[in-house]
Amino acid sequence: TTVQDSPTAAGSGANASQNFKAKQRSEAVVPPERVSAAVTAVLQGVHTAIREHQVTYPEFQAAKAWLMEVGEVGEWPLFMDVFVEHVVEEVAASSQRGTKGTIEGPYYLPDQVRLASRCELPHRPDEKGTPLVLSGQVRDLDGTPLAGAEVDIWHADADGYYSGFAPHLPDGNLRGVVVTDGSGRFEIRTVQPAPYQIPTDGPTGKLIEAAGWHPWRPAHLHLMVRADGHRTITTQLYFAGGEWLESDVAEATKPELILDPVDDGTGVRRATYDFELEPA
């Protein structure tokens, strides 16, 4: 892990880049025809934009400087996941049945603490935010409950920060791998996350500001749901009525992924969500 001094774009970017590189990934073997076809299409898109918008030399040099800065501060994982991943997920989703997936984003960390089916996510003693309980069941496509499935969950805190990517948060905060019980059920106690704002001090934030867009994602929980013999689902759950739900900067919301938690009368908001996994 990298030690950060303050919650800056460069800090979270460096951690996200380091985390991305550390992941064990199989080298994609892509035939030259496919490389050529895809890269030609990307370059043609760039050439078309330059012609259509009569891009000037100063603008071209500014674009180069910006690209260099994104790499220098480690924001490529952030930029790619915010502006590109949703289309890769859309392509992947066309062959996926069961619960809808959506993008993983840059802040997943593997190997978090394993928790019993009824549990509370690790949190600080003074963790802010409205208590939230998410319960549900993991099932096969035919409705068979999946015991011992993993509900790997991570989310931002009530200030919109992720542990591992902000120096003031303890490692593992609001992250855990919840194992379903004998009937595939789980009940996770945590706190309501805040919407997420793209760091405004980094190149991604500066681009968003320069273009007059907004830097927000609606509040969300991230989940990866796994069971032996089944295809892992990577998804997110959102909150009905939440700000930015209709204008997610990462374009990663889906109507099937919206929770509508209800206060149980004690100030605890409760929601249920069941996951259906297809065979691997």
Binding site for ligand MBD (CB under 6 A): 78, 81-82, 103, 105-107, 196, 217, 250, 252
Q: How far apart are CA 204 and CA 201, in angstroms?
A: 8
- Could you give phi then psi for residue 34, rounded to 5 degrees? -75, -40
Judged by CB under 5 A, does residue 199 bind Fe ion? no
- In the complex with ligand MBD, the residue whose CB is nearer, 103 or 119, is 103
Output the smallest distance, CB 244 to Fe ion, in A: 12
Considering only residues 71-110, where is the footprint of Fe ion by CB under 5 A? Answer: 105
Residue 105 Cβ, how far from Fe ion at the closest point, in Å? 5
CB-facing half-sphere around the CA of 209: CA atoms within 13 A: 10
In the bound state with ligand MBD, the residue whose beta carbon lies nearer, of 79 and 230, is: 79
Tokens 């889906």 belong to residue: 254
Q: How far are the Cα atoms of 115, 132, 219, 271 from residue 263, in angstroms, in the given order? A: 24, 9, 17, 9
Q: Is 164 in the site for Fe ion (CB under 5 A)?
A: no
Residue 102 contacts residue 256 (beta carbons within 8 Å): no
CB of 51 to ligand MBD, least distance (A): 31
Can you tell me the distance from the alpha carbon of 71 to that of 68, in angstroms, rounded to the nearest whole number?
A: 5
Which residue type is seen at 63? Answer: A
To ligand MBD, the closest distance from the beta carbon of 161 in angstroms equals: 10
- Residue 106 binding target from Fe ion, ligand MBD, none, CB below 5 to 8 Å by type: ligand MBD
Q: Which of the listed partners (Fe ion, ligand MBD, none) does 250 bind, with a CB threshold of 5 to 8 Å by partner kind?
A: ligand MBD
Output the residue with the shortest Cβ distance to ligand MBD.
105
Which residues, at least 6 apart from 178, have a Cβ–Cβ distance to it below 8 Å?
115, 116, 117, 119, 150, 151, 152, 153, 186, 188
Least Å distance between CB 196 and Fe ion?
Answer: 5
Q: Which does 108 bind (CB under 5 to 8 A by kind): Fe ion, ligand MBD, none?
A: none
Given Fe ion, ligand MBD, none, residue 82, with its beta carbon under 5 to 8 Å by kind, binds: ligand MBD
